[in-house]
């Protein structure tokens, strides 16, 4: 009886560890429906796959990725939007650019053509498609210098109410920002609408924020009366570690006269990180 129980437990574990996938018949059905001349049929198939990917990623498997990618080039905007929304959803669930892929999750990076097609989608005529494409891209890939330049141009084209804030976040999260990108972000630090967003993004990146931004962040920290902005600026400054040592005395003075408990605690943590010569861990 003990042997049977042990066998059952091992079998149960192995069975539930298997990565399921679409059957050949299901793949054939999706291929057929996504090639149908009626956009309503293609949209229904794309929506169905999106629901499956969200509900049961282990069942959808990597088989859905080529279908999602094909949908990005569909002539119907509704199908394109559904496809890019599906990719954005999976991308935010997996964040493959930053974290190892968990077992059973869909591997968007497994399909090489996706990256180039997503890059084109960043400049789709539809603003919501551009938005989802950028969300997906940010969670999958770092921006190349060429993409950074194009997004800076796109920022101007977006206009008020567009995807400007998302573009700013994407550029600030770049692991290898170009000089043009750094100068662009430094200019926007003077705009109270975007300074907090930029600083918080820098606080969350894996590497060190641009060195050229450090003096401006310290200056902004000492001048702003908004406690949320101060928290953002000090979090970004702490990421510099040893590089921020010339500003340690200033940070400690600001800490001593800070009236907000949370900001004061953040200033203390930043000062400790700088004193230790190590980047502040968020």
Q: How confident is the model at residue 128 (pLDDT cuts 50, 70, 90)?
A: very high
> Which range (11-15, 171-175, 209-213, 276-280) has the least confidence?
11-15
Q: Token digits for 111?
A: 């399909």
Question: Is the dihedral angle over the CA atoms 133, 138, 141, 146 positive or is it negative?
Answer: positive
- The 10s digit of each residue's pLDDT in 14-43 is 333 334 478 899 999 999 999 999 999 999
Mean pLDDT of the residues in the chain: 90
Tell me the C-alpha distance between 67 and 45, whole Å. Answer: 10
Q: Percent of the chain beyond pLDDT 70? A: 92
How many whole angstroms from its chain centre is CA 123?
18
Contact 201, 210 (CB under 8 A): no
Model confidence, pTM? 0.84
CB atoms within 10 A of CB 130: 21
């Amino acid at each position: 009886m003990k042997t049977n129980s042990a066998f059952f437990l091992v079998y149960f574990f192995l069975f539930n560890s298997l990565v399921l996938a679409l059957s050949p018949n299901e793949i054939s059905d999706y291929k057929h429906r996504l090639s149908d001349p009626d956009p309503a049929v293609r949209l229904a198939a794309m929506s169905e796959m999106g629901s499956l990917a969200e509900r049961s990623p282990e069942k959808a498997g990597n088989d859905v990725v080529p279908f999602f990618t094909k949908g990005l080039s569909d002539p119907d905007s509704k199908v394109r939007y559904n496809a890019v929304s599906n990719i954005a959803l999976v991308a935010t669930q997996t964040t493959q650019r930053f974290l190892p892929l968990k077992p059973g999750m869909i591997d968007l990076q497994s399909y090489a053509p996706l990256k180039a097609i997503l890059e084109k989608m960043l400049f789709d005529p539809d603003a919501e498609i551009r938005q989802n494409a950028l969300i997906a891209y940010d969670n999958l890939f770092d921006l190349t210098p060429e993409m950074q330049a194009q997004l800076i141009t796109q920022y101007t084209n977006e206009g008020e109410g567009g995807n400007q804030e998302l573009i700013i976040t994407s550029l600030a999260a770049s692991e290898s920002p170009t000089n043009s990108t750094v100068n662009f972000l430094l200019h926007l630090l003077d705009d109270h609408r975007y300074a907090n967003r930029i600083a918080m993004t820098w606080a969350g990146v894996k590497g060190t924020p641009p060195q050229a931004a450090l003096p401006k962040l310290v200056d902004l920290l000492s001048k702003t009366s908004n406690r949320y902005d101060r928290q953002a600026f000090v979090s970004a400054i702490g990421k510099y570690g040893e590089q921020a040592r010339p500003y340690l005395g200033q940070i400690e003075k600001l800490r001593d006269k800070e009236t907000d408990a949370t900001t004061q605690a953040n200033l203390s943590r930043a000062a400790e990180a700088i004193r230790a010569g190590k980047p502040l861990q968020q």
